[in-house]
Amino acid sequence: NQGKTRWMIIDEAFDAEKLIEFLQALIKDAGKKVFLILDKLRVHHSRRVKAWVAERQDQIELFYLPNYSPQLNPEERLNADLKQEMGKRVPVRTKAKLRDAAHDHRAMLEHNPERVMSYFQDRHVRYAA
């Protein structure tokens, strides 16, 4: 765990096409095989996504968490951190301001890898570090 994050802010329906777009960006930026942990969201298991990943199994491998196990999902720590920071700000009233605030948080995390690494200290997500 190097304390790096990869985000994609989506303000429309999250579907297989959007997930594949994100996976493509992960592969492009990684420079080595990507191992990605996903929850049981239906789109994560779609035929289209599985077929796309199968064609790139030398570049990416997906691992699925058990049903109803958010405590095992490292992404939940990031989400909680983001929500906590957003709660400290003056309330945003537009999508654009919300997007800007999320981008600001992402930029802050890029300069604080220790903070990202701390998400993996909990015993439930240490497996992913």
Judged against a pLDDT cut of 80, whether residue 107 lies above it is answered with yes
Domain boundaries, given as residue ranges, for the chain: 16-128
Between CA 36 and CA 86 the distance in angstroms is: 26
| Euclidean distance between CA atoms 71 and 106, whole angstroms | 22
Taking the C-alpha atoms of residue 87 and residue 81, their distance in angstroms, rounded to an integer, is: 10
pTM of the model: 0.83
Q: Looking at domain 16-128, which of 3.40.190, 3.30.420, 2.40.128, 3.40.640 is its CATH number?
A: 3.30.420
Note whether 34 and 59 are within 8 A (CB): yes
Over the stretch 33-91, which tens digit does the pLDDT of each residue have? 999 999 999 999 999 999 999 999 999 999 999 998 989 998 899 999 998 988 887 78
